[in-house]
Amino acid sequence: MGKRNRAGFCFVLPSLVGVFVFYIIPFGDVIRRSFMQAVGNGFAGLDNYRQVFSNQAFCLAAGNTLCFVAVCLPLLLVLSLGVAVLLLEQVKGKNILKSTYLIPLAIPAASVVLLWNIVFDQYGMLNGIISFFHIRGKDWMNSGAAFGVLVFSYIWKNLGYDVVLWIAGLHGIPESIYEAARVDGAGALKCFFYITLPNIRPVAFTVVILSFLNSFKVFREAYLVAGNYPQEQIYLLQHVFNNWFSELSVDKMAAGSVLLCIVLVVFVLLLQRSWDKED
């Protein structure tokens, strides 16, 4: 190890120790527990994994989580990029708009939950508004609409954050490229597809990963609004893990966590690989 590397290593060491102590070592224990019985030291082999795969609640939650990510992620990426591009144009009051998009991030989860209750309750504000137009309201959080509410909440909360990330990326594209393209007769759309998109690829990787991970945080609001057993379409993986822990089903919880981790790692690796390939 060179002198320069040694110094760098020293700087990284504290956080590395933290990651090891608080993440890697506990996760090692989770892997160990996934092969053990919930209480005691009895070896369970692959039983816990078999139970997880045959568990209807887990399958439902995994399906819902996958569906949620599949709907939310593209929607958020496209919307936030669109807003970021628009904000970079000479829009009047764009600075205020930029800050406005960030407000949801600053609102604590408890306040968001209160807002949800006020807006989406059976006797809430939304139903009150639509009743003016003679449309019959519904119990948003206890019907199929709950999934839509969850998607809306996720987009609302994370849009501003992604916009900021995209803007940072967009600022990194030299203006001279756009000018040269315009001289050659390229329009706005051509500039977007042939200059903007290829140049924000490195930022896109970060935005996708962060948005993906943030999609798992939406559980907090869903849990606070609808409790342990919400409408079945918004019953997510974290609900299962939470309830399993309350019931001391640590064996299943550990196996489920390992499986989830594998899926996440595979997703990130595949994403990275496809990025590297195209580069």
Sites of contact with other proteins (CB under 8 A)? 10, 13-14, 17-18, 21, 25, 37-40, 55-58, 60, 122, 139, 142, 228-229, 232, 235, 240, 242-250
Nearer to other proteins by C-beta: 5 or 246? Answer: 246
Nearer to other proteins by C-beta: 204 or 237? Answer: 237
CA 80 – CA 72 distance, rounded (Å): 12
For the residues of 42-108, what is the DSSP string, one character each?
-B-TTHHHHHHHT-HHHHHHHHHHHHHHHHHHHHHHHHHHHHHHHHHS--TTHHHHHHHHHHHHHS-
Residue 14 in tokens: 């504290």
Report the Cα 145 to chain-centroid distance in Å.
20
Nearer to other proteins by C-beta: 119 or 177? Answer: 119
CA 199 – CA 196 distance, rounded (Å): 5
Backbone dihedral region for residue 239 (phi beyond 0: left; psi -120 to 50: alpha; all else: beta): alpha
Nearer to other proteins by C-beta: 199 or 242? Answer: 242
Nearest distance from C-beta of residue 90 to other proteins, angstroms: 50
Residue 161 in tokens: 């954050």
Residue 2, Cβ neighbours under 10 Å: how many?
7
Nearer to other proteins by C-beta: 14 or 93? Answer: 14
Contact 64, 270 (CB under 8 A): no
Instruction: Indicate the SS3 state at residue 147.
Output: helix
Spatial neighbors of 9 by CB under 8 A, at least 6 apart, are: 1
Nearer to other proteins by C-beta: 207 or 237? Answer: 237
Nearer to other proteins by C-beta: 51 or 199? Answer: 51
Nearest distance from C-beta of residue 234 to other proteins, angstroms: 12
